[in-house]
Amino acid sequence: MQRPDAGFNPFGALGFPGTIETTSFGHPTWKARRKTFAVFEKYQGDWSLALKANPGEQRARIETDARFYRTPYSGPYGWVSFKFQGRIPWRRLQALLLEAHRLAC
């Protein structure tokens, strides 16, 4: 599978106030106030978006959609990742990205 964001920014994170895009460990990373709130990466062969989340919401997302999973390493802090498989719920991801941005601010 090709990288889902090749040539454009489907996440729209750069439109959020105070957001910068950088690279961390070779992965596109979005930060607000120098705090990471989203990371785009390939994990175990699947493209995914890791998002900052409240620990209680992490479980709810994982239980409602099998494409969500606990982010390795940062999962204990509430982070959740979304695998880009099948039909992508872009509006839902945009809302989750905005929520992650708010948590970082």
What's the number of domains the chain is made of? 1
Looking at residue 22, what is its pLDDT?
A: 86
Tens-digit pLDDT profile for residues 58-101: 999 999 999 999 999 898 888 999 999 888 888 888 889 999 99
Whole-number percent of the chain with pLDDT over 70: 87
- The CA-based diameter of the chain, rounded to the nearest angstrom, is 34
Residue 40 in any domain: the answer is yes
HSE value, Cβ hemisphere, 13 Å, CA-based, for 72: 5
CATH number, residue 66: 3.90.1150.30
Whole-number percent of the chain with pLDDT over 90: 39
Which residues constitute the domain of residue 46?
A: 13-104
Average pLDDT of the residues in 14-26: 83
Task: Identify any residues that bridge with 24 across adjacent strands, giving them in sequence order.
Answer: 27
CA distances from 95 to 15, 25, 49, 68, 105 (A): 13, 26, 13, 15, 15
Rounded CA separation 5/20 (Å): 17
Residue 8 in any domain: the answer is no
